[in-house]
Structure 1
Amino acid sequence: MQKHLRILANIVAFLILLLGTGALLLWFIANTDSSGNSVGVFQPIEKKDAPMPTELHPEVEKAKNELLNRAKEKGISVVITDGHRSIERQNELYEQGRSGKGSVVTNADGGESYHNYGLAIDFALKTNRGDVVWDTTRDGNGNGKADWMEVVSIAKDLGFEWGGDWSSFKDYPHLQMDFGLSIRELQYGKRPKVEKDTNKATTESESS
């Protein structure tokens, strides 16, 4: 009898552990964005009306230009293939490989990408013949290092986060600056601003 009770107790304990693990997994999936970052579900955020950006954030624009210059000094020609992206364009890209033709290029629907807030760029490389390529192993400047990874290294030094480091959906051409803001916070109206006196980006509410 005692043996049967121990077996029953072990089964119950196992089921409780299994249910708890499943619930934790579902919570994690529901509260992470397309790049695998937490959306801060337990942080109370007051929703504010804020206009959607129509261009790159000044700090991102500045870092983008510096990236191009530093890469050029290394003999690498970088092409920016995408910058600020409208909600409509984001929706079009999201449907690619789903309801539309082509392969899936993003897991972010409209309003779920840092591109939509002017905080991200995509890049590619340009060969001497003028071809635009996404070859991550190419060593066009002949220094024994992959040009792509040299660009990534420069970008990280400038404060960009690289999509190739993501664990869930690796986006090798993608570079972004989130200024400590999650997609959820941006959706709720928070925006990074630039201090006029120091030209340094700070996180503030658009309506403050």
Structure 2
Amino acid sequence: MPEALHPVVQENKVELVDRAAEKGIAVVITDGHRSVSEQDMLYEQGRSEEGSIVTYAEGGESYHNYGLAIDFAIETKDGRVVWDMNYDGNNNGTSDWMEVVEVAEDLGFTWGGDWKNFKDYPHLQMDFGLTIRELQYGKRPEVEDYAK
């Protein structure tokens, strides 16, 4: 199992933060690579542990476990970190959240807010055409195949 973000995901994470900053939006990356045990702990939230359910993916079933996903939030002008999809801190009439999603999709990320079942609005991933099952069986994207 990978122990860090895939190099292409890492590069595009930095580019996402930089491009958002050019628009006057401060993006905070709240999560990246997650170990299987960390994923299992998150999965237990809202089940055997207190809190709301935040994932339906057990350890080994999340793109985070393979270094192919990040989660984000927005930092407001007063320094608060928010997951407010309507916040328009740069005052241009468009929610900062959706501006970040647009930049992310331009960079090749898929947004969890587009999923049909469980909407995961802070989630961005690059699956390189690989399914979780393929990743579980050891297939990995090659850096050279997906370089800019």
Provide TM-score, normalisation by structure 2. Answer: 0.98
* Alpha-carbon shift at residue 194 of structure 1 (Å): 1.2
Aligned twin of 1:93: 42
Amino acid corresponding to residue 55 of structure 2 in structure 1: T
Which of 117, 123, 134 is the equivalent residue of 2:72?
A: 123
Matches within 5 A, 1:6-25: none
* Alpha-carbon shift at residue 201 of structure 1 (Å): 2.2
Q: Figure out how many residues of one structure are paired with residues of the other and give that number.
A: 147
> Is 1:73 aligned to 2:22, yes or no?
yes
SS in 2 for 1:190: coil
- Report the structure number with the largest CA radius of gyration: 1
Amino acid corresponding to residue 58 of structure 1 in structure 2: P
* Alpha-carbon shift at residue 186 of structure 1 (Å): 0.2
Q: Percent identity?
A: 71
Aligned twin of 1:31: none
- Backbone CA RMSD of aligned residues: 0.9
SS in 2 for 1:123: strand
* Alpha-carbon shift at residue 129 of structure 1 (Å): 1.1
Question: Is there any run of 5+ residues in structure 1 with no aligned partner, and where?
Answer: 1-51, 203-208
Amino acid corresponding to residue 166 of structure 1 in structure 2: W
Which of 148, 153, 162 is the equivalent residue of 2:97?
A: 148
Aligned twin of 1:170: 119
* 1-structure distance, mates of 2:143, 2:136: 19
Amino acid corresponding to residue 146 of structure 2 in structure 1: A
Structure 1 residue runs of 4 or more that deviate by more than 6 Å after TM superposition: none
Amino acid corresponding to residue 169 of structure 1 in structure 2: F
CA deviations over 1:65-113 (Å, ceiling 9, x no partner):
0000000000000000000000000000000000001000000000000
> Is 1:189 aligned to 2:115, yes or no?
no
* 2-structure distance, mates of 1:55, 1:83: 8
* 2-structure distance, mates of 1:80, 1:109: 21
